[in-house]
Structure 1
Amino acid sequence: MATELVYREDAYAREIAARVIAAAPEGVVLDRTNFYARAGGQPGDLGAIRWAGGEMAVADTLKGPDDTVLHVSAPGAALPAVGAEVTAVLDWPRRHRLMRMHTTLHLLCSLIPDAGVTGGQIGADKSRLDFDLPDPPTKEALTEGLNALIAANHRVSERWISEDELDANPGLVRTLSVQPPRGSGRIRLVRIGAEEAPVDLQPCGGTHVRATGEIGRVEVAKIENKGRANRRVSIVLVGE
């Protein structure tokens, strides 16, 4: 039984009701979840699963077999019983920072439009993208560009396309090291800005804020040389 991914429809669902369909040391599987499973450079969510008379701290969230999600318990935590009705509660401050960071990385892509992305990592404190780019813009120019896009408060939305539509528009894929997951017949596109003239449009399965103004001020902390034509751009959120 696949886990319903509630965060795909509502990334702001801080806690939801769910039912336990499996519970083992490697992870608890729910029929539905608001927890993002680690993928695409975005960490798995943390939080808790609560039930009548008990609680399990969630130390990581991973993809499981057959389109399930594994909620990994903290060491020594009690596990809920199979069939139990539970409440899945996110560590919301951490998740929200990850959403702000992830959306900022999309904006960063828009400022370096002609370079492929060779790697990336999203973190609550620092995030980065690696670009196939011998001569990157300066830290100051990227910081200014990012904060201008954030201040414009562009809407963030999504839609689904078929795998055939993606094949017909290969330029939508910016990542050189990771390709969008296939097999379901459809691909999720995340758009920042207006449909007729998006700031950024690319396949993505992660979680994002509703509008760029929610991100707050950011700063490009460092640009590093990671190879002949590979440049790592690291960003941080300024303030809370």
Structure 2
Amino acid sequence: MTSPLFLEDAYRRTAPARVTEIGAQGGIVLDQSLFYATSGGQPGDTGRLIWDGGETAIATTVKDENGAIVLVPAEGETLPGVGAEVTQDIDWERRLGHMRVHTALHLLSVVIPLSVTGGSISESKGRLDFDMETPPEDKEALSEALNRLVADDLPVTESWITEEELDANPGLVKTMSVQPPRGAGRIRLIRIGDAERQVDLQPCGGTHVARTGEIGRLRIGKIEKKGAQNRRVYLHLED
């Protein structure tokens, strides 16, 4: 299986790799990947692969039916051969936007402490769907609460627990629609805050900024009704 370099260092922009497989549809599998594959509402990374004598633009990154990370080249691009040594170069500004928004959505689940039923992420905005019968009365107050957490510049760190430990602590899972991936025997947790002041702890396989101060100023956008018990809350980066 491909080693997920994006979990080791979300800030790394380039890395070497070796092509281990070219799929029937032209998808490229590497021995180690900086490219994050679409999952959990976060889009797959884009960028390019460079090798001696060529390069190819990567349009997106996905997981196949076996869970392998597959880089999808743009249409008409030249492909490297199996065994080729390549350099990975991700679209950093796009990735950083995803990291800022993803961490901001974790904060949104703090200021709106309700079960999450869905979500999505883009470079400059995101949204969460909540099990919420009535909408919040004061969007400005929510925005202010979010920006206080950003201004506090809290650390964002990871740790790992076993699947059995997660089963013993079901309250860690905020999302009703997406459950943490299982089968590897352990679950990755993202913590915002520290031992003195922990504001959030939940399973997550996505990429995040190292401190909340890197998110920048936030604004709550529109809130839409999506069913009798569901509200969609949009969140925007303002800088």
- Give TM class, smaller chain: over 0.9
Which position in structure 1 is the counterpart of 2:13?
A: 14
Question: What's the TM-score, normalizing by structure 1?
Answer: 0.96
Which position in structure 2 is the counterpart of 1:140?
A: 140
Distance 1:18 1:64 in 2: 19
What 5-or-longer segments of structure 2 have no aligned partner?
A: none
Corresponding letter in the other structure for 1:116: S
CA displacement, residues 46-105 of structure 1 (integer Å, 9 cap, x when unaligned): 000110110110001001354421000000000001111100100000000000000000
Which position in structure 2 is the counterpart of 1:75?
A: 75
Distance 1:228 1:32 in 2: 44
Distance 1:123 1:96 in 2: 10
CA displacement, residues 151-199 of structure 1 (integer Å, 9 cap, x when unaligned): 0000000000001100110000000111111111100000000135411
Which position in structure 2 is the counterpart of 1:34?
A: 34
SS of equivalent to 1:57: strand
Corresponding letter in the other structure for 1:50: I
CA displacement, residues 1-40 of structure 1 (integer Å, 9 cap, x when unaligned): x000001110011010010111233410000011100001
Q: Which has the higher mean CA deviation after the structures are superposed, 66-75 or 7-16?
A: 66-75
Which position in structure 2 is the counterpart of 1:117?
A: 116
Q: Which has the higher mean CA deviation after the structures are superposed, 89-98 or 223-232?
A: 223-232
Question: What's the TM-score, normalizing by structure 2?
Answer: 0.96
Q: Identity, % of aligned pairs?
A: 57
The answer to whether the 8 Å contact 1:192/1:199 transfers is yes
SS of equivalent to 2:103: helix
Distance 2:196 2:68 in 1: 36
Whether 1:47 and 2:50 are equivalent positions in the alignment is: no
Corresponding letter in the other structure for 2:5: V
Runs (4+) off by over 4 Å = none
- CA shift at 1:126, angstroms? 2.2
Distance 2:82 2:192 in 1: 41
Q: Map residues 203-222 of structure 1 onto 2, 5 A cutoff.
A: 203-222=203-222
Corresponding letter in the other structure for 2:223: I
Q: Which has the higher mean CA deviation after the structures are superposed, 229-238 or 133-142?
A: 133-142
Q: Which has the higher mean CA deviation after the structures are superposed, 65-74 or 198-207?
A: 65-74
Residue correspondences, number = 237
Distance 1:64 1:31 in 2: 15
Change (3 A) 1:144 1:6: same
The answer to whether the 8 Å contact 1:37/1:43 transfers is yes
Distance 2:230 2:66 in 1: 36
Distance 1:52 1:146 in 2: 47
The answer to whether the 8 Å contact 1:3/1:67 transfers is no
Corresponding letter in the other structure for 2:174: R
SS of equivalent to 1:128: strand
What 5-or-longer segments of structure 1 have no aligned partner?
A: none
Whether 1:229 and 2:239 are equivalent positions in the alignment is: no
SS of equivalent to 2:77: coil
Corresponding letter in the other structure for 1:129: L
SS of equivalent to 1:93: helix
Q: Map residues 76-95 of structure 1 onto 2, 5 A cutoff.
A: 76-95=76-95
Which position in structure 2 is the counterpart of 1:101?
A: 101
The answer to whether the 8 Å contact 1:26/1:70 transfers is no
Distance 1:136 1:186 in 2: 36
Corresponding letter in the other structure for 2:45: D
